[in-house]
Amino acid sequence: MPQSGSTVQYQLTVHLVEGAGLGQSVEWVAPEEWAAVRDKHAGTASWKVFKTHRCTPQMRAEFDAGNATGVYVFRDIRDVIVSRMKRGDKDFDRMWARTLESALTSFQKWTSLESVLVSRYDEMVADLAAEVRRIAQHLGIAVGRSESEAIASEYTVERQRERIRQATSEGRLQHVGRSMVDPASQLHVGHVRSGRTG
């Protein structure tokens, strides 16, 4: 779900998969272009970590065939809307109308898949190390408590802000829609706020 910590969940997944030598992240593309990315990387047996909010029919087919495993995080829809409004769209009624149906449809699609780990935003941010362990267990990667705490410490709000500052100063940001995004971290300028709920 957008504005629900999906970027940090993606980053943790990449960290675990790459750290275990099982695969790597692949470039972000719009969901409609996902099949081309899948086909481009089809010749490599390693895992590919891809971030998306929409579950297309082609993606669903990969899950149904047992070729995919996912992680999904959701948040109180009111917090999602407030977060989106802070990104620039200040009209609550328009944001509510645009967000509610798409968020619920996406929620239903992702949570109906057996091989998708579903996390609550407020629980994830309250104990990021526990989220590291949950993702690792879901992926079959052995991670102990101290290692999960070390990994979590790399993805604090302040560390994420530092990543954005560094990507900005190094000129790594790219235009994606209305945002300037660091392709490595998937963070964009203005991405990280307080992380609080309510």
Q: How far apart are CA 187 and CA 166, in angstroms?
A: 11
Number of structural domains found in the chain:
1
Q: Which pLDDT belongs to residue 188?
A: 65
SS3 60: helix
Report which of 66, 31, 7 is spatially closest to residue 195, judged by C-alpha positions. Answer: 7
Residue 156, both tokens: 């604090």
Residue 175 has pLDDT above 80, yes or no: no
Q: Which pLDDT belongs to residue 93?
A: 81
SS3 72: strand
Per residue in 35-88, pLDDT (tens digit) is 999 999 988 889 999 999 899 999 999 999 999 999 999 998 887 777 777 766
Per residue in 103-118, pLDDT (tens digit) is 899 999 999 999 999 9
Q: How far apart are CA 60 and CA 74, in angstroms?
A: 19
Per residue in 138-172, pLDDT (tens digit) is 999 999 999 999 999 999 888 888 878 887 778 77
Per residue in 4-42, pLDDT (tens digit) is 778 899 999 999 999 999 999 987 778 898 899 999 998
Q: How far apart are CA 64 and CA 59, in angstroms?
A: 9
CATH classification at residue 128: 3.40.50.300
Residue 196 has pLDDT above 60, yes or no: no
174 falls within a domain: no
To which H or E segment does residue 121 belong? helix 121-126
The DSSP 8-state label assigned to residue 112 in this structure reads T
Q: Which pLDDT belongs to residue 153?
A: 96
Given the structure tokens 């992240």, which residue do they identify?
A: 25
27 falls within a domain: yes
Residue 50, both tokens: 């891809």
136 falls within a domain: yes
Per residue in 89-103, pLDDT (tens digit) is 667 788 788 788 888
Range of the domain at 98: 6-156
Residue 186 has pLDDT above 80, yes or no: no
Q: Which pLDDT belongs to residue 113?
A: 97
28 falls within a domain: yes
